[in-house]
Structure formats: C-alpha cells, structure tokens
Amino acid sequence: MSTAKKAPAGELLESAQTPSVESSISYSADHLANQFLIAMPGMMDANFAGSVIYLFEHTERGAMGLVVNRPTEVDLATLFDKIELKLEIAPLLKQPVYFGGPVQIERGFVLHEPSSENAYSSSLAVPGGLTMTTSKDVLEAVANGQGPKNFLMTLGYSGWSAGQLEEEISLNGWINVPLSRAEMVEIIFNTPASQRYERTMGHLGFDPSHLSGEAGHA
C-alpha cells in the first residue's frame, strides 16, 4: 500500500490532487472503480485491517479509494474551526471525520451523492456511483446548509500504484464487492460505521470467517 505523502500543515481540501474525470472513464474490462473493497481477515496492515474502501478510481496507472468505516476522534465542528468556517447545524457538529487512508493525511476528501443542483470546483463523479470532492467550496456549502444531504468527510485516501491492487487481491488481501448505488448509499450513509464491514460482507452471501483461504475476485 502506498505510504503517506507529507503536505503542508493546514492544507485540507483546496490543494488536494484530484484525478481527472477523463482518466476515470476509460476503464479496462477488470476495472473495480465504483465498488467496495473489503480487507480479508488475514490483512496484516493495521491501516486496513477490518476496512471497507469505496474505490473511486482504477486505471492502468493505479487505484484510489476512501476507507468508509474508520471514524476518528475528530468531529466536523473541530475541523470546520480549523479551516475557519462556522458550522452551526447541530446534527452535523458531532459527525466524525473519517480516516480515508494513509496517503496525504493532511488533506480532506468529501464523498457524497451526486447532485445536479450543486457543482463544486474540484470533483470527480464516478459514473453510476458517488462523487468525491476535494475543493473547500463543498464545506462552505455544508456550513451554509446548502451542501450535499449525505456526505462523509475523510482525511487522507488509500492509493495503489500500477498493478499493486491487482497483486494484493491475488494474494488474498482484498475482496471486491460490486453493489448498486442505492446499496452503497445505504451502507455508507445510513449504516453505523461499526456495522459497515459486516453489512458489506453480507452482500457476498457467506460468513466472513470462511474467507481466510479464499482469493479475492476482480
């Protein structure tokens, strides 16, 4: 798995390197974008043990995704204060910020449902799936009560170089789970974080304890 890259302190969303939408459209036959990755029981990397990742890009150059079931102790109120935005929407104040992965952990990534009403300056809309935004304007919209209805804020993302994810899957590190957008929305936004692994695994139709000797599939 890629290691974290150091970024200047305080840079959250505005300067994050967002993959181009164009690069995400030319998928090969085995692309896994817009799918979940589930860490297999034998995953030894503490960053990813028990993790569910939403993969938003997978091309011949590599893959990128966000862990969606690892809330941190930082809440939105604390993060908004750090970037000098005033958040007064009570239900959101204690909403946790998530660990999205070990790459660029000083930067923010917002995963949300696509919307034809709001356009942000730096977004990647996954065809048939969700939208990942890295520009600060999405948080400004949230602070004003005009942001996406459902969203998940992470610090950092998960990244793989060319061929690395495929190799990790072949070595039983991950198993991929293709779901409809409605099913992914239900898991990411309507299911408690502690239950997202089991809920995602449940769509495969077998007991997670039986996976240790199984290979992932692509």
Model pLDDT, residue 210: 62
3-state secondary structure 130-175: CEEECCCHHHHHHHCCCCCCCEEEEEEEEEEECCHHHHHHHCCCEE
Q: Strand, coil or helix: what is 37?
A: strand
Question: pTM to 2 decimals?
Answer: 0.82
Tell me the pLDDT tens digit for each residue of 121-144: 899 999 999 999 999 999 999 998
Residue 21 has pLDDT above 50, yes or no: no
Q: How confident is the model at residue 31 (pLDDT cuts 50, 70, 90)?
A: confident
Determine the residue type at 123. Answer: S
Tell me the pLDDT tens digit for each residue of 133-173: 999 999 999 998 888 989 999 999 999 999 999 999 998 89
Residues 75, 94 contacting (CB under 8 angstroms): yes
Query: Which H helix or E strand runs over 64?
Result: strand 62-67
* Range name among 22-26, 100-104, 118-122 with the lowest pLDDT average: 22-26
